[in-house]
Amino acid sequence: MTIALNRSGEPQTIPSRNGAAGRTEAPQGTAFRAPDGIVQYVRIGDLQLESGVTLPDAVLAFETWGTLNADASNAVLIEHALTGDTHVTRGASEEPGWWEQLAGPGAPVDTDKYFVVSINILGGCSGSTGPSSPAPDGRPWGSRFPLVTLRDTTAAEARAADALGIDCWFAVLGGSLGGARALEWAVTYPERVRRCAVISVGASSTAEQIAFAQAQTLAIRQDPHYNGGDYYGGPEPEAGLALARRIAHITYRSAAELDGRFGRNAQGSEAPLAAGPLGGRGRYQVESYLDHQGSKLARRFDANSYIAITEALMSHDVCRGRGSLQESLAGATAEFLVAAVDSDRLYFPAQSRALAEALPGCPDLHMIEAPIGHDGFLTEIGQLSGQLRECFFG
């Protein structure tokens, strides 16, 4: 396994999707100490997937903050959500992170005390091997990229932890897809997780959640530019990806938040009820908002990766092949913190409660009060600061 550090001006051996940031291979066995918040890469070799397919020569992108202590006992893994990346907090970078309230100097996950790691999920487009990465023949994987489950991504991350010299995580935590990844870590590798925080997700993806996800992936696949997934080098399915994001974003926000924020108001001078042909009418504010969210994601994310990661989330089921929920969780030895957002209409608090009640020790369910909906796990994570500091990071 090889750890490589991103350094400007050095050869770019494995280009990213947009060609901006490359990867420079380090000598075998050499461990770099990168500045906080700078992307690094680790080759984890061939990975046998749940489907029976082997993904060859896989690479994972990751960032770190803080210093790993001598016995590697202070390592914390923070898992990102569906369209997130490795940049949890600022560090040496000028770019703000997506969970600054959670991690950083003096934050609940104090990077002056803990060695924080965040790994881009396998199948992603932020440095890890995914559909836009070159296959062994040099062409992008595209339609040939295999199905990756959350158990596969966990197995991949375990190899990355091995390469970093981390035998056991002080804590693993995440929200939404990140919470599902954290839970899978605690169940698959109980001896390697001392504490686990599962936020805004249940023990499995329900039929309704799979239905919402299927609508999103179908929106991409039906884009005329999708070309069965082999669109690299030509027009990309941006319209389909933007539509997928619109569908998802409705589930990320509560009805009350959308109504209170936008109501039935028109967008600027546009007139939703004044038009000749139907296609010429103006937009409501909420439509403009969804248009913005869709186009913003389409500019930075790969459509195939959106499908790959969404289908990985569809696979989320800690009970698969393990028995009942209680039986599946019985072997987990971590200290758990389970939390939900009270207004979440994607991953209902009842699912988090059922998970908490089935876990060994029956931990309390902590409720984040946020009218915004599912996204409250990001915007209001500060409400868990007390519990995290007292229970996990005191």
Q: What is the set of active-site residues? A: 176, 344, 374
Give strand pairing partners of 341: 368
Rounded CA-CA distance 372/132 in Å is: 33
103 neighbors 78 (Cβ within 8 angstroms): yes
Q: Report which of 187, 225, 221, 222 is spatially closest to residue 203, judged by C-alpha positions.
A: 187
Rounded CA-CA distance 326/332 in Å is: 10
119 neighbors 60 (Cβ within 8 angstroms): yes
- DSSP β-ladder status, 40-48 and 115-119: unpaired
Q: Report which of 325, 349, 357, 41 is spatially closest to residue 204, judged by C-alpha positions.
A: 325
CA–CA–CA angle 54, 308, 80 (5° rounding)? 105
59 neighbors 44 (Cβ within 8 angstroms): yes
364 neighbors 337 (Cβ within 8 angstroms): no
15: three-class secondary structure by DSSP: coil
227: three-class secondary structure by DSSP: helix
CA–CA–CA angle 250, 251, 252 (5° rounding)? 90
23: three-class secondary structure by DSSP: coil
Q: To which H or E segment does residue 110 belong?
A: strand 109-110
Q: Report which of 73, 87, 239, 104 is spatially closest to residue 170, judged by C-alpha positions.
A: 73
Q: Which two tokens stand for residue 108?
A: 């609940």
Tell me the CB-side half-sphere exposure of residue 239, using CA atoms within 13 A. 6
Q: Which two tokens stand for residue 328?
A: 């599946």
